[in-house]
Amino acid sequence: MSTINKDEINKFSKIANEWWDINGKFKPLHAFNPIRIEYILNVASNYFKIDKKKKFPLKNLKILDIGCGGGLISEPMSRLGADVTGIDASDKNIQVAKLHAKKNNLNINYLNTVPENLKLENKFDIILNLEVVEHVEDLDLYLSSCFTLLKKKRIMLTATINRTLTSYVKAIVGAEYILRWLPIGTHDWNKFIKPEELEKKLTDLNFSITNLTGLSYNPIFQEWKKTKDMSVNYIITAEKN
């Protein structure tokens, strides 16, 4: 049993050198980053009672960034003071992430591995699954592995795409074929998961859902915002019981 989908790994490995090109194939993720960071900080602030105004508000928190790619989320989490481990099934992604972190004097523990193979004594306060679950092979194994890696009464944030007609039009036809924001074939609509499906999988594992929020893109202002509309992108926060 494995969560690795070799086709997905190869797909992202081929464009790994573009992770830090803000006008390259990962431009949509660079645009997505501010709202993701804001959401993580707000959740951490409420849950761990941290002061977001401090220079290193995430200090003393251990964060696991799964499917870290080139480090687009791992690096800001590290800059905010967190003890970050970033893992990815693509060795090429990890090499890019390590090189970029070294250039920026950031101490991030990058590992070429997957959750079910990660054996660490110390578990994590926050696990980040951001735009990952729609690319894994065995979602049940993936989520149960995450549950094992998380400390009790700590949280996991999962951002993904809903399986709706709207998401097919916007995330695949629009983003890949018309606007060419993403390489054609980046997403498989059949692997998208509805919020209620993900909620059930999480609660069956003994997670409690603490927040569910939609995320939508405003093409006029070219920015993302939180919304009640979860027809395309959404993020779910779950606490390990």
| Assigned domain for 78 exists | yes
Number of domains making up the chain? 1
Assign residue 147 the CATH number of its domain. 3.40.50.150
pTM (2 decimals)? 0.94
Question: Would you say residue 37 lies in a domain?
Answer: yes
Q: What is the pLDDT of residue 228?
A: 96
pLDDT of 153 > 80? The answer is yes
Average pLDDT over residues 20-35: 92
- What is the pLDDT at residue 217? 87
If DSSP states are collapsed to H, E and C, what string results for the chain?
A: CCCCCHHHHHHHHCCHHHCCCCCCCCHHHHHHHHHHHHHHHHHHHHHHCCCCCCCCCCCCCEEEEECCCCCCCHHHHHHCCCEEEEEECCHHHHHHHHHHHHHCCCCCEEEECCHHHCCCCCCEEEEEEECCHHHCCCHHHHHHHHHHHEEEEEEEEEEEECCCHHHHHHHHHHHHHHCCCCCCCCCCHHHCCCHHHHHHHHHHCCEEEEEEEEEEEECCCCEEEEECCCCCEEEEEEEEC
- Domain membership of residue 1 (yes or no) is no
Whether pLDDT at 57 is above 80: yes
Whether residue 137 is contained in a domain is answered as yes
Range with the poorest average pLDDT among 1-5, 86-90, 145-149 = 1-5
The answer, yes or no, to whether residue 177 has pLDDT greater than 90, is: no
Is 75 contained in some domain? yes
Average pLDDT value for residue range 220-226:
87
Domain containing residue 66: 6-240
pLDDT tens by residue, 116-140: 999 888 899 999 999 999 999 999 9
Share of the chain above pLDDT 90, in %: 84
Mean pLDDT of 55-80: 97
Decide if 185 is inside a domain. yes
